[in-house]
Amino acid sequence: MELIMKYFGTFKAGENGALNTFKFEYLTTLGLAAIVIFLGRYIVAHSKALRKYAIPAPVVSGIIFSVIVSAIKGAGIIGLSFDTTVMKDLCQNLFFMCVGYGFSTSLVSKAGGKLVFMIAVAACLLITLQDIVGVVVGGAVGLNPLLALQCSSAAMSGGVGTASAFGPIFEAKGIADATTVGVAAGTCGNIMGSLIGGPVAAFLIRRHGLKADPNDQPQIEEVSSVNPLNNTRMTVALARALLIAALGMPIYVLLDNIPMIEMPKFIGCLFAGAIARNIIEATGSETYAPEFDAIEHMFLELYLALVLMTIDITKLAPVAGQMGVVLLAQAILMALFGLFVSFNMFGRDYGAAIMTGGNCGWGCGSGPNSVANEKALMDEYGWHTVAWVLYPSWAVIVDDIYNPIFLSVFSNFVG
């Protein structure tokens, strides 16, 4: 049996009473991720409530999968883990490159300078409020203010990446387990953002009787009503996507070396995609928009499946008390902010509702959460080009610039 199992992963016997562990190799992990995708789509297809509130399919099945894995570990049977590092990184960067690739300068003029400005203001305002609320509520329950910040914009708007980056900074100030708390909070935030965004936006759509514009269609539908599979076009598009993503690395290097700013790698890919798209359009060359759209959606679903299925819920137990109170406050803040601030600032129309759902996604989790929320909403209620192409990329860019700066300054003030 051991001879056979080594082909599927690595078994490690626990020492001194420790739990035995098994880490699935990457191909088996991808197979399990595929099952998560199939299961999520099946569950959502057969649940009117999940479709009504636009809960992303990989989130549903990913949570179920992670609960089962955590229960097996909690019962002392075996600790299961998965080789996802490279594939998650690939999926995230290619996905955001495709999001950037859909960002045409003509869209900014279509959206209007006012909306672009309002999105930036709303992002900065939310980040500021998250940290203020986190420190106030954390202080009320006896949580160190720096740990409270790890449960605030570091993990909420910033996600696991920003929380992981600031963990060692706070630990250097004598705050033990700051990284663990931040990662745990970011993990909860991913779930919160996915669960809050759909219901909030769906409520706004129903409450105000909002409807999608039937003349607003994805570019792939504007180009042609039928897009047959073409091996040559798909191969060229994938090769182009990989090349553009790689060209995002020099951009990432430049951005990441700006003092006091922590930049994730995918921002470089996002910028590279936007720059490449506008150069290609300016030269009148083929954009391969339908193929890039397919690549974008495939890698988004795979990324979400890999992230959600590998959440280790057992790690939340040591910090569940005080952290849970702060995270509850953050969830309430996000829902209220979406209902009463985002929706009004974004124009009180159908697009504003979709962007509010996206706001809940990145405001409590990450950029991919934002896009996943918007995709689930538009699958149910209808398309909106500006919300899909402009909002997630622009909001994430503003967040990745303002959030680290404000965190650095505010943490010095309260810590």
pLDDT tens per residue, the chain (415 residues)? 678 888 999 999 988 888 999 999 999 999 999 999 999 999 989 998 787 666 778 878 988 998 899 899 989 999 999 999 899 889 988 988 887 887 777 767 777 889 999 999 999 999 999 999 999 999 999 999 999 999 999 999 988 767 877 888 898 888 887 887 887 888 788 888 888 999 999 999 999 999 999 988 776 544 445 567 789 999 999 999 999 999 999 999 998 887 766 666 878 898 899 899 999 999 999 999 889 989 988 998 898 888 878 877 776 676 778 999 999 999 999 999 999 999 999 999 999 999 999 999 999 977 778 888 999 999 999 999 889 888 987 888 788 778 887 888 899 888 7
Q: What are phi and psi of 74, to 5 degrees?
A: -65, -30
Question: Strand, helix or coil at 23?
Answer: strand
Is 35 part of any domain? Answer: no
d(CA 256, CA 250): 10
CB 185 within 8 A of CB 323: yes
Per-residue pLDDT, 156: 94
Spatial strand order in the sheet of 79-82:
9-12, 21-24, 79-82
Per-residue pLDDT, 53: 65
CB 360 within 8 A of CB 197: yes
Is 156 part of any domain? Answer: yes
CB 301 within 8 A of CB 37: yes
Per-residue pLDDT, 224: 45
Is 51 part of any domain? Answer: no
CB 322 within 8 A of CB 138: yes
Is 68 part of any domain? Answer: no
Question: 38: Cβ–Cβ under 8 A, 6 or more apart, which residues?
Answer: none
Token pair in block for residue 10: 């690595």
Per-residue pLDDT, 402: 86
For the beta carbon of residue 15, count every other beta carbon within 10 angstroms: 7
Is 60 part of any domain? Answer: no
CB 375 within 8 A of CB 384: no
* Chain centroid, CA 149 distance in Å: 19
* Chain centroid, CA 250 distance in Å: 23
CB 94 within 8 A of CB 269: yes
Per-residue pLDDT, 398: 85
- 241-250: b (≥16 Cβ within 10 Å) or e: beebbebbee
Per-residue pLDDT, 272: 94
Is 320 part of any domain? Answer: yes
Is 9 part of any domain? Answer: no
Of 123, 387, 161, give the one whose Cα is nearest residue 266: 161
The range of the structural domain enclosing residue 246 comes to 85-414
| Sign of the alpha-carbon torsion through 118, 121, 126, 132 | negative
Token pair in block for residue 214: 């039937």
d(CA 255, CA 396): 14
Per-residue pLDDT, 226: 54
Chain length of the chain: 415
Is 29 part of any domain? Answer: no
Q: What are phi and psi of 81, to 5 degrees?
A: -140, 175
| Sign of the alpha-carbon torsion through 374, 378, 381, 382 | positive
How many domains does one find in the chain? 1
Residue 236, judged by CB atoms within 10 A of its CB (0-12, 13-18, 19+), counts as middle
Per-residue pLDDT, 357: 96
| Sign of the alpha-carbon torsion through 41, 45, 48, 53 | positive
Per-residue pLDDT, 315: 67
